[in-house]
């Protein structure tokens, strides 16, 4: 309870960000990390021609730039994909609470570990899966991250993205994404008006070659290897 209270007592500054607004720029040096309260945030990088690739999605409960506590110069940028509310937490406060409470430092470390596992799956998604599997895998992942029950059909959740943004995530063109969504509709999965509806979860999992274990969301606390007892 004492450690939980220290988290709740962290100083924060509330910021609301409009859709398509960058709130951390490439190369910017920041003195805080952001906690997503509402909305959808994309982490992205770009090539020398300014062409962007979304490399991560972050939902409420995520800290998309927690790693900036130890590397404050942004090697990737952050953009609100929908209207988003953020809590900006000073690096100094995070370092202080992690230094005073090793269990908190371990929890933050674990969060960064899961983030890296998601990134690894995204690399496989773009490098080794076809368009249909890429989009299916992403929709399965987001359903799990939003903690939607997949036991009963239909599985339904909001995903505040456009088809163009979905293209930036999956490394496809908007036209290719549109064609892929039509193919998914044929197996009972639709993405319309920013709502995902899945009639056959097991079929989508099969098409997406999806194994949720990398998300670590089904690991119970007592199953975790602990450094701090």
CA distance 162 to 170: 13
Whether 140 has a pLDDT exceeding 80, the answer reads yes
pTM (whole model) above 0.85: yes
Rounded to 5°, the CA angle 195-62-164 comes to 40
Per-residue pLDDT tens digits for 28-44 = 999 999 999 999 999 99
Name the CA radius of gyration of the chain, rounded: 18
pLDDT of residue 224: 87
Peptide bond into 154 cis (omega under 30): yes
CA distance 68 to 60: 18
107 pLDDT band (50/70/90 cuts)? very high
Cβ 42 vs Cβ 157: under 8 Å: no
The gap from C-alpha 66 to its chain's centroid, in whole angstroms, comes to 12
Closest to 17 in 3D by CA, of 1, 41, 44, 33: 41
The gap from C-alpha 144 to its chain's centroid, in whole angstroms, comes to 11
């Amino acid at each position: 309870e004492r450690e939980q209270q220290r988290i709740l007592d962290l100083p924060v500054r509330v910021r609301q960000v409009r859709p398509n607004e960058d709130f951390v720029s490439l190369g910017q040096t920041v003195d805080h990390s952001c906690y997503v309260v509402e909305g959808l945030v994309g982490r992205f990088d770009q090539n020398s021609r300014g062409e962007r690739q979304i490399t991560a999605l972050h939902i409420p409960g995520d800290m998309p730039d927690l790693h900036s506590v130890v590397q404050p110069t942004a090697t990737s940028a952050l953009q609100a994909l929908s209207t988003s509310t953020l809590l900006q937490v000073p690096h100094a406060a995070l370092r202080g609470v992690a230094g005073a409470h090793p269990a908190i430092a371990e929890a933050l470390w674990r969060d960064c570990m899961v983030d890296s596992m998601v990134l690894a799956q995204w690399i496989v998604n773009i490098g080794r899966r076809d368009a249909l599997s890429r989009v299916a895998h992403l929709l399965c992942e987001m359903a799990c991250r939003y903690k939607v029950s997949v036991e009963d059909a239909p599985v339904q959740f909001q995903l505040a993205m456009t088809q163009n943004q979905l293209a930036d995530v999956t490394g496809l063109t908007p036209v290719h994404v549109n064609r892929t969504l039509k193919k998914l509709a044929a197996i009972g999965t639709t993405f319309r008006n920013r709502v995902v509806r899945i009639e056959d979860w097991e079929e989508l999992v099969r098409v997406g070659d999806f194994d949720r274990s990398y998300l670590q969301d089904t690991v119970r606390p007592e199953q975790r290897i602990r450094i701090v007892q």
